[in-house]
Amino acid sequence: MKRLIFFRLLQAIPTMWVIATLTFFMTRFAPGGPFDAEKAIPEEIKIKMEAHFGLDRPLLEQYFIYLHNLLQGDLGPSFKYPEWEVSELIATAFPVSLTLGTFSFIIALIIGIPGGMIAALRQNTWMDYLPMSLSMIGVCLPTFVLGPLLIFALSNQLAIFPPLGWYRPSDWVLPSLTLGLFYGAYITRLTRAGMLEALQQDFIRTARAKGASSWRILTQHAARGGLLPVVTFLGPAFAGLISGSFVIESIFFIPGLGKFFVTAAFNRDYTMVLGTVLFYASLIITLNLVVDLLQAWLDPKSRQSR
Amino acid sequence: MLLIHSLSLINKCRKFPLASFCWVLALGCSQQTNVETALNEQVLHFGLGSEPQHLDPHLATSVAAHNILSALLEGLVSEDPKTLKPRPGVAKSWSISEDGKNYIFLLRKNARWSNGDPVTAEDFVYSFRRILNPDLAAPYASMLYPLKNARTYHQGGISWEKADVGAVAIDAYTLSLSLENPVPYFLELLNHYSWFPVHQTTIEEFGAFEKIGTGWTKPKHFIGNGPFHLSNHQINSVIEVTKNQHYWDKESVRLNGIRFYPIDAVFTEERAYRAGFLHLTQSVSADRIDFLKARHPRELHFEPYLGTYFYRFNLKAPPFNDKRVRLAFSLAIDRQRLVDKVLGGGQSPATSFTPPGTGGFQPVPKFEYNRKKAKALLKSYLKEKGLEKLPPVELTYNTSEGHKKVAEALYGMWNEVFDVDIRLLNMEWKVFLSTIAKGDFTLARAGWIGDYVDPHTFLQMWRSGDGLNMTGWENQEYDYALQQAENSVSQEKRWESFQKCEDLLADEAPILPLYFYVHHTLRHPTVQGWHPTLLDHHPYKYVYLADERRP
């Protein structure tokens, strides 16, 4: 296990380097620059501003300076908001996205796993059709439709929850629900498929023949194998959830990471783009490692193959 | 930790499902909206539209920054809330020399920074010197060019003393400003944030005299001299200002604070308004105007705004290097139909480039609608070039539903008059800006918002070689007329010269003005002392909240 962790972390180094390099050059080759504006600033001022951010140096030199600073953990100041360091902005936005992501994740699991299990156990009955139809609607309904619908129902009509903002815990409910329902729908379908396959295995029949209760069969025998596809999905899904969602953040006016991610690209905020991409990449790498460890624990076969 | 906390919460909820549901319900219902609590608190909840890039007045470039800086800082003069005419600010009075080139400001002795330090004439000189310092690379430094020798100093290579810039502190409370030319709108110009003072000690402490990004504008450090001071800034969430107890006119300030919310999604902002989260929105989506007119007629406001929506022709490439084609394209447009049928948001058709009434100037409507003339002009061009029809024309605009709608409508109008293929080319914002700046376009969308209420802010950009011209149009007669306007003191002569500029723009048609902007906003009836102004400036010290239904 320790070897696995060690080697995976070792692999992460070249991966991060490739991502940093690709992102660096892709942002620089995109047309337009951070200081272009409708009220165009005079050329000589633009040159001075570029010099201030080191953009007047040759591109390769800029790249090596960036890597050098990166190794020391310095992501540089944001081009769009020069008063703030990129790391400072990520540090203020990430807790927001983490909270939103965690709650959505819990909601998705609470809905998805029991829903999928019931559907699998009662295949081809109304208890299968109902959650499957609902999950199909959930999968098809984008968050920018679901969000305003929930706001309309629970905020405008019933006035239970605030429609937007991120100031009080009651503000957390609607965005978490919107994201949670969306992901929950996926998890329901994945759980059902995985469980159906597991329930048809020989060892389940054996367990039934031995007189094990259906609860015991479900939790002790089928769930471990049946949830494998769900676990594989959960790693990247959790990374996606906690790294922020631009759509949800725009609908609910939440100061999360997703907004920085997208607007940084629009603003050609080079350092912010790199900062958010690298942060997201390291999240994905870490969570994929966690998933692998979980899978090794759930599935003896995958443990051996490693 | 968060997970454990939420798990324990879930556990509790499991035991008492009904009770927890009721608790959540009660929690939700018992909360008063911002607008309800604001009446007692006197806190204005302001939809800011976008997060300002800088809160440094010498680096700021946006409307959002103006909205905050005008709460935090005060210039030599302030504005009348209705007319925007100059009123005493830090200066209690001023005198102007006969030739209109010298101003003496007498500063009030009770003007204070938010830490209690007195605001002196030296502070202003220091601030002007900072924004003009070439090393700071301030985008709006040219706003100070009316000051004598300011341009020379800003363009570098010469010290402040040697340049002899026309800003001198005669004593701590007397400031003398001398100008290059008489500028009749000079006092109004002083209300642009580029003229606002900064606190010298703070700037020096942070080494911000010539450096960007020193952090001096963060809430703990910001020292201002305006009616409010900065108390909280959470990026993309809220900027909060509270009443400045050191402000010289604090008795007039009725609001205790303002909370600015940078909500850039226009539908979210409207939802926030309708939920009582905001007192006013920065804008309203064009698609929602009919609905809001019907549902919130008293709260939806259409206010004239000092801006022109237009297209630029590229004169460096055919077919628009020929005046006849440009004029034909301009004459074929029914601007009235465009604003009535396509836009429908109370905009007015642009028959000149300067909006009528700017600073009192009434341009003669010259950009007319004349299909017959348009047809004839194009015909003569095609005949001369030996062409059957025009080669396809590319119309470039930045991706937006609104711009697309206008482009499509114009496509239709041109094809009603002559046969032309228009290729609509939409681009992401930054790609669009760099494409236009490079001159890599044929016909492109543009917009211009005035910086001060004078035709000069509109007409100066068409001077030959101006960085904002970007059409490739150069006209000596125009440059001369503009120069004449800049050198005149008499209003009559200035208007005459500006009209000459307008005439040349209409005759040569390097641009295609389409309509004058209107500012759409939702404003709660409890907001008092708020008046529509051309620059959308609203001096906060006159604003307060009161329920007009109450006696």
* Cross-chain CB nearest to B237 (options A49, A99, A166): A166
Integer angstrom CA distances of residue B90 from A153, B76, B84, B124, B340:
51, 5, 16, 10, 45
pLDDT at position B292, please?
92
Omega before B304 cis (within 30°)? no
pLDDT at position A208, please?
85
Q: Are B195 and B87 in contact (CB under 8 A)?
A: no
- Other C-beta atoms within 10 Å of A75: how many? 21
Q: Are A224 and A280 in contact (CB under 8 A)?
A: no
pLDDT at position A302, please?
64
Average pLDDT in chain B: 90
pLDDT higher than threshold 70 for residue B517: yes
Residue A142 backbone dihedrals phi, psi, to 5 degrees = -70, 160
The answer for A97, left when phi > 0, alpha when psi is -120 to 50, beta otherwise, is: alpha
pLDDT higher than threshold 70 for residue B3: no
A81 has a chain B CB within 8 A of its CB: yes
> Taking CB atoms and an 8 Å limit, are A170 and B24 in contact across chains?
yes
Give A29-70 pLDDT, tens digit per residue: 988 888 887 777 777 788 888 888 888 899 999 999 999 999
pLDDT higher than threshold 80 for residue B242: yes
Most A CBs within 10 Å, among B55, B268, B397, B445, to test the A interface: B268
Indicate the DSSP class of residue B78. E
Most A CBs within 10 Å, among B10, B236, B309, B433, to test the A interface: B236
The token pair at B295 is: 């549902």
> What ipTM was assigned to the predicted interfaces of this complex?
0.87
d(CA A224, CA A216): 12
Place of tokens 């680096």: B59
Least confident of B27-41, B349-363, B412-426, B524-538: B27-41
Write the burial class of residue A303 (CB in 10 Å: 0-12 exposed, 13-18 middle, 19+ buried): middle
Q: Are B71 and B258 in contact (CB under 8 A)?
A: yes
Mean of the pLDDT values across residues B464-481? 92
Q: Are B238 and B260 in contact (CB under 8 A)?
A: yes
> Taking CB atoms and an 8 Å limit, are B236 and A259 in contact across chains?
yes
Give A155-177 pLDDT, tens digit per residue: 888 888 988 999 889 999 999 99
The token pair at B542 is: 């006159």
Whole-angstrom Cα Rg for chain B: 26
CB pairs under 8 A between A and B: 138
Closest residue of chain A to B31, computed from CA coordinates: A162
pLDDT at position B1, please?
36
d(CA A22, CA A196): 42
Place of tokens 């004598």: B148
Mean of the pLDDT values across residues B436-454? 91
pLDDT at position B165, please?
94
Give B146-199 pLDDT, tens digit per residue: 999 999 999 878 999 999 999 999 999 999 999 998 898 999 999 999 999 999
Mean of the pLDDT values across residues A121-148? 89
pLDDT at position A305, please?
52
pLDDT higher than threshold 70 for residue B8: no
Give B315-355 pLDDT, tens digit per residue: 998 899 999 999 999 999 999 999 999 988 889 999 999 99
pLDDT higher than threshold 60 for residue A15: yes
Q: Which residues of B touch A267 (CB under 8 A)?
A: 430
A157 has a chain B CB within 8 A of its CB: no
Residues 6+ apart with CB under 8 A from B360: B491
Residues 6+ apart with CB under 8 A from B302: B345, B346, B518, B519, B520
Indicate the DSSP class of residue B451. S
Closest residue of chain B to A110, computed from CA coordinates: B10
CA atoms within 13 A on the CB side of A91: 6
Indicate the DSSP class of residue B494. H
> Taking CB atoms and an 8 Å limit, are A44 and B212 in contact across chains?
no
Residues 6+ apart with CB under 8 A from A122: A128
Q: What's the helix, strand, coil split of chain A in %, to 5? A: 75, 0, 20
> Taking CB atoms and an 8 Å limit, are A40 and B470 in contact across chains?
yes
* Cross-chain CB nearest to B137 (options A48, A164, A260): A48
Integer angstrom CA distances of residue A165 from A145, B46, B133:
18, 14, 41
Give B53-71 pLDDT, tens digit per residue: 899 999 998 889 999 999 9
pLDDT higher than threshold 80 for residue B420: yes
Handedness of CA A195, A200, A202, A206 (dihedral sign): positive
pLDDT at position A36, please?
83
Mean of the pLDDT values across residues B390-401? 92
The answer for B424, left when phi > 0, alpha when psi is -120 to 50, beta otherwise, is: beta
The token pair at B272 is: 């926030």
> Taking CB atoms and an 8 Å limit, are A255 and B217 in contact across chains?
no
pLDDT at position A292, please?
83
Give A216-249 pLDDT, tens digit per residue: 888 888 888 888 888 888 888 888 888 878 899 9
* Cross-chain CB nearest to B467 (options A42, A81, A151): A42
Give B288-309 pLDDT, tens digit per residue: 988 999 999 999 999 888 999 9
d(CA A100, CA A104): 6
Closest residue of chain B to A46, computed from CA coordinates: B137
pLDDT higher than threshold 90 for residue B379: yes
Q: Which residues of B touch A42 (CB under 8 A)?
A: 142, 467
Closest residue of chain A to B4, computed from CA coordinates: A102
A250 has a chain B CB within 8 A of its CB: yes
Mean of the pLDDT values across residues B381-390? 91
Work out the angle at residue A186's Cα, subtended by the Cα atoms of residues A183 and A189, and round it to the nearest 5 degrees.
150
Q: Which residues of B touch A253 (CB under 8 A)?
A: 261, 263, 265, 268, 272
pLDDT higher than threshold 50 for residue A179: yes
pLDDT higher than threshold 50 for residue B7: no
d(CA A31, CA A39): 18
Most B CBs within 10 Å, among A45, A168, A260, to test the B interface: A45
Interface of B with A in 151-210 (CB under 8 A): 155
Closest residue of chain A to B61, computed from CA coordinates: A39
d(CA B540, CA B89): 13
A43 has a chain B CB within 8 A of its CB: yes
Between helix A126-140 and helix A173-199 the angle, nearest 10°, is 130
pLDDT higher than threshold 90 for residue A207: no
Find, among A184, A170, A179, the residue nearest to A150 by Cα.
A179
Q: Which residues of B touch A245 (CB under 8 A)?
A: none
pLDDT higher than threshold 50 for residue B458: yes
> Taking CB atoms and an 8 Å limit, are B434 and A103 in contact across chains?
no
pLDDT at position B18, please?
44
pLDDT at position B21, please?
46
Work out the angle at residue B88's Cα, subtended by the Cα atoms of residues B83 and B89, and round it to the nearest 5 degrees.
105
pLDDT higher than threshold 70 for residue B14: no
Residue A105 backbone dihedrals phi, psi, to 5 degrees = -65, -45
pLDDT band at A303 (very low <50, low <70, confident <90, very high): low
pLDDT at position B6, please?
39
Least confident of A235-239, B29-33, B65-69, B448-452: B29-33
pLDDT at position B306, please?
92
Closest residue of chain B to A267, computed from CA coordinates: B430
Mean of the pLDDT values across residues B266-280? 92
Residue A38 backbone dihedrals phi, psi, to 5 degrees = -60, -45
Average pLDDT in chain A: 88
Q: Are B125 and B169 in contact (CB under 8 A)?
A: yes
Residues 6+ apart with CB under 8 A from B142: A42, B151, B154
Helix (H) or strand (E) holding B304: strand B300-313
pLDDT band at B550 (very low <50, low <70, confident <90, very high): low
> Taking CB atoms and an 8 Å limit, are B142 and A166 in contact across chains?
no
Q: Which residues of B touch A82 (CB under 8 A)?
A: 54, 212-213
Interface of A with B in 184-243 (CB under 8 A): none
Q: How far is B377 from chain A (nearest CA, A)?
A: 32
Residue B421 backbone dihedrals phi, psi, to 5 degrees = -90, 125
